[in-house]
Amino acid sequence: MTSGIEVVITGLGATTPLGGDVTSTWDALLAGKSGVRPMTHDWVEKYDLPVKIASQLVVDPTEVLPRVEARRLDRSEQVAIVASRQAWSDAGHNDDTVDRQRLAVIIGTGIGGAITLLTQDDLLETQGLRKVSPLTVPMLMPNGPAAHVGLELRAQAGVHAPVSACASGAEAIAWAYRMIMSGEADVVVAGGAEACITAIPVAGFSQARTMSTRNDEPEKASRPFDTGRDGFVLGEGAGVMVLERREFAEARGAKVYGRLAGIGTSADGYHITAPDPEGVGQSRAIAASLRSGGIDPADVGHVNCHATSTPVGDVAETVAIRKAIGDHPVLTAPKGALGHLLGAAGAVEAIVTVLSIRDGIVPQTLNLENLDPAVTLDVVAGEPRKIKLEAAVNDSFGFGGHNVALAFTPA
């Protein structure tokens, strides 16, 4: 790593089940709104799926993108484009602000173009070869969101697509940090995108018994850390950050939201879907993020948790936090309101963490009515909590034992 370099955040973009941009998402989160609603797709009843709810986008990307452009993109690519354009504009960039050979794009996804793959398979089986789109492969490939954003921005320092399940978006941001710290890029557009609310993923997660079946009360289904939690709620969306070398950002007079001070990654080596109950791998990632950022654990006032509302995962995370940081941080879990955006979750929640530092407020964990007695840390519930933060950590974990922690500090 190159010494003396700092990584700052200059632009934010998002489209989520709570809002079509960062501001509306943040406002809805603080207001205690839920993005979980009944699914109205024909296949829900056709296959008699036990899960009939999901966190669906408030603003459909086809309402934002030109019709011809939208038709040539998978839904996961659509949301990536929408969020990236917001972030790029928010950062104040234009054609002359950065050498494209010093610009990179890193957009992660957990599943990629599932909707395209399944739709085109149906067309092949029912109507034959001639009905299959020639754009099928570019639309279904997991690097599609990153590739399309990279082409639009003419990024030439690198275009990458981490695929590490629910840690993908956070890993993209960690990768951006590494590229800037190593001197490979001055500016990186990084985040995550996911849009796979369709029959096979819902059926598969249902069979694995990882999803909530609280169909009669959708808005109360996602309840991290609560004794009544029974699984996560599948969501869709995208979150994107523009990260820059501080000297570069200051030289062009950019506003700065905050600093990505350090990052940590690890793997559990434990199980394909279950986390290590002792939080060993997760705690190593958290500790590494503080170490790389030169942050004393005592200075971490807040942890934005991965907490998906599963019985095992939520408790294991608190064990890891206690090991790596201690008992003092204030916790929150945005998935209570957002649902689980899979590969986009870490990126959207990293944005929430940055805004918590900027505004000095931690959002409440929606639907936390009875804290699990196994959780002995301070989890914000009921209403947002005002708190001045010197440092905050965002956790993201994924199937396969992927662990990512991002440590942020004020600008």
Catalytic residue list: 166, 306, 340
Phi, psi dihedral angles at 104 (to 5 degrees): -125, 160
- For residue 299, what are the contacts with CB-CB under 8 A and spacing of at least 6? 390, 391
Report the alpha-carbon distance of residue 226 to residue 243 in Å, rounded: 35
- Whether residue 406 contacts residue 260, with contact meaning beta carbons closer than 8 Å, is answered with yes
- Whether residue 290 contacts residue 348, with contact meaning beta carbons closer than 8 Å, is answered with no
Report the alpha-carbon distance of residue 83 to residue 61 in Å, rounded: 10
- 296-299 LR contacts (CB < 8 Å, sep 24+): 297/324, 297/325, 297/326, 298/326, 298/328, 299/390, 299/391
Q: Which of 316, 339, 328, 327 is nearest to 397 (CA)?
A: 316
- Whether residue 405 contacts residue 264, with contact meaning beta carbons closer than 8 Å, is answered with yes
DSSP character string of 151-185: HHHT--SEEE----GGGHHHHHHHHHHHHHHTTS-
DSSP three-state, residue 109: coil
Rg, Å, the chain Cα set? 20
- Cα separations in angstroms, 43 against 37, 53, 101, 236, 237: 16, 12, 46, 18, 21
Q: Which two tokens stand for residue 101?
A: 């050979």
Give the pairing of strands 378-379 and 392-398. Answer: unpaired
Report the alpha-carbon distance of residue 60 to residue 278 in Å, rounded: 40
Q: Which of 322, 279, 270, 315 is nearest to 300 (CA)?
A: 322
Q: Which two tokens stand for residue 401?
A: 């034992």
Half-sphere exposure of 245 (CA within 13 A, CB side): 21
DSSP character string of 192-206: EEE---SHHHHHHHH
Within 10 A of 92 (CB to CB), how many other CB atoms are there? 15
